[in-house]
């Protein structure tokens, strides 16, 4: 395996993190990565995903042509956006740890994954290592509903299977199972009235919502299933019986029967409460993404396990309660597996990355590329 230049890798990672790129505002980091990959000889294409998300950037599809024949075509994927803005990022490096000063996120979700694959392909090109065709599918707006992946122009993708770097350590962890994720937009309609003069003439949408939620199973329902009320908006003034409340909610499960049962339960709670107080409820239910279940015979898993063992890792397969672009890719016919990379305490201001994990992630990426190259026919 080629030697990793640690200082160069750290500089790449911190440079990516230092570019503010919340959802819909990824253009600066897209341009940075385009320049990086163009210097390595990648063929670069953007799709029109910005139109679908009303943002300032598109998905980037970068292709490195094969220098050997007969090997499968693979992709690596990560996302440009971070969970919140970090325009005044202050990075602190203490021995093996890269973090912030605590005033913002670091952005290692998902720039640790992106840095690992970028450094790996730079090493491949610089050392003229044998490789089949490699595509990088780098997406926008992952953090607000996998929207970039959903809008990805598949006509620009030419890969047999791939690897999505978007979960935490240990390096080499593979996500074997994810939930199906359903969302709700609920509008509760009451009736306004003066709260001090004629409250009995009103119907409180807040009271309907409170009754529904009080009777609802929420939180961790079992090892496979969760449910949550995430947003409640409503009310005009304390002297007005609230006429309308808007609620956003979700439920997830790795078991479809349990998911359908929870969906029915949540709907019933809202409908029963509305009828009890004489109000109305409008429920819009949507399937956010589909679950998948992978085993060791699934080709991306098989390759990743073999590659991890080659570089001394002890890969494990585990389920998760979250989703990623891999849910969309698998559903759209792009076989892939989520691979653990150098991110910890993500979505918090305590987020950090270990330099040693970044190096291990680069080595794993190089090993995947080599393993696939060895699969060439003849």
- Give bridge partners of residue 244 from the DSSP assignment: 189
Phi and psi dihedrals of 123, rounded to 5? -65, -40
* Pairwise CA distance, residues 342 & 352, whole Å: 8
* Dihedral-angle region of residue 107 (phi above 0 means left; psi in -120 to 50 means alpha; beta otherwise): left
Distance, CA of 98 to chain centre: 21
* Pairwise CA distance, residues 91 & 352, whole Å: 10
* Pairwise CA distance, residues 265 & 253, whole Å: 14
- Pull the structure tokens for residue 60: 């980037």
* Pairwise CA distance, residues 57 & 46, whole Å: 9
Using CA atoms of 45, 48, 118, 122 in order, give the dihedral in degrees to the nearest 10: 10
Three-state secondary-structure class, residue 163: strand
Which of the residues are catalytic?
81, 142
In contact, 102 and 22? CB cutoff 8 Å? no
Classify residue 250 by burial, with Cβ atoms within 10 Å: 0-12, 13-18, 19+.
Answer: middle
Cβ count near 361 (within 10 Å): 30
DSSP assignment string, 2-69: PPP-HHHHHHHHHHHHTS---TT--HHHHHHHHHHHHTTT-EEEE-SHHHHHT-S---EEEEE--SSS
| Runs of H (alpha helix) within the chain | 6-17, 27-38, 49-53, 108-126, 147-151, 205-214, 256-277, 299-310, 325-331, 355-373
Helix axes 108-126, 6-17, angle to 10 degrees: 140
């Amino acid at each position: 395996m080629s030697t990793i230049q640690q200082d160069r890798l750290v500089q790449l990672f911190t440079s990516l993190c230092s570019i503010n790129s919340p959802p819909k505002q990824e253009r600066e980091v897209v341009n940075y990565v385009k320049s990086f990959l163009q210097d390595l000889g990648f063929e670069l294409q953007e799709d029109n995903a910005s139109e679908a998300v009303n943002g300032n950037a598109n998905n980037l599809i970068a292709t490195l042509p094969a220098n050997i024949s007969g090997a499968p075509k693979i992709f690596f994927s990560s996302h440009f956006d971070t969970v919140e803005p970090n325009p005044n990022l202050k990075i602190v490096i203490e021995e093996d740890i890269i973090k912030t000063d605590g005033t913002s996120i670091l952005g290692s979700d998902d720039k640790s994954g992106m840095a690992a694959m970028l450094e790996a392909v730079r090493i491949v090109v610089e050392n003229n290592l044998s490789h089949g065709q490699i595509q990088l599918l780098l997406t926008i707006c992952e953090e607000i509903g996998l929207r970039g992946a959903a809008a990805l122009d598949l006509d620009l993708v030419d890969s047999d299977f791939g690897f999505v770097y978007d979960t935490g350590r240990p390096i080499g962890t593979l996500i074997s199972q994810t939930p199906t994720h359903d969302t709700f937009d609920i509008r509760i309609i009451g009736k306004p009235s003066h709260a001090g003069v004629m409250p009995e003439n009103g119907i409180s949408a807040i009271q309907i919502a409170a009754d529904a939620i009080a009777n609802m199973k929420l939180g961790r329902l079992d090892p496979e299933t969760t449910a949550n009320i995430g947003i409640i908006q409503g009310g005009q003034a304390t002297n007005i019986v609230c006429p309308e409340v808007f609620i956003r909610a979700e439920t997830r499960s790795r078991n479809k029967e349990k998911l359908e049962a929870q969906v029915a339960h949540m709907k019933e709670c809202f409908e029963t409460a509305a009828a009890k107080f004489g109000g109305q409820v409008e429920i819009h239910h949507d399937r956010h993404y589909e679950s998948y279940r992978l085993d060791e015979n699934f080709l991306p898993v098989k390759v990743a396990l073999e590659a991890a063992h080659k570089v001394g890792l002890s890969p494990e397969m585990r389920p998760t309660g979250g989703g990623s672009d891999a849910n969309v890719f698998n559903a759209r016919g792009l076989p892939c597996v989520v691979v653990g990379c150098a991110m910890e305490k993500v979505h918090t201001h305590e987020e950090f990355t270990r330099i040693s994990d970044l190096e291990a992630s680069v080595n794993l990426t190089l090993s995947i590329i080599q393993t696939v190259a060895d699969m060439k026919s003849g």
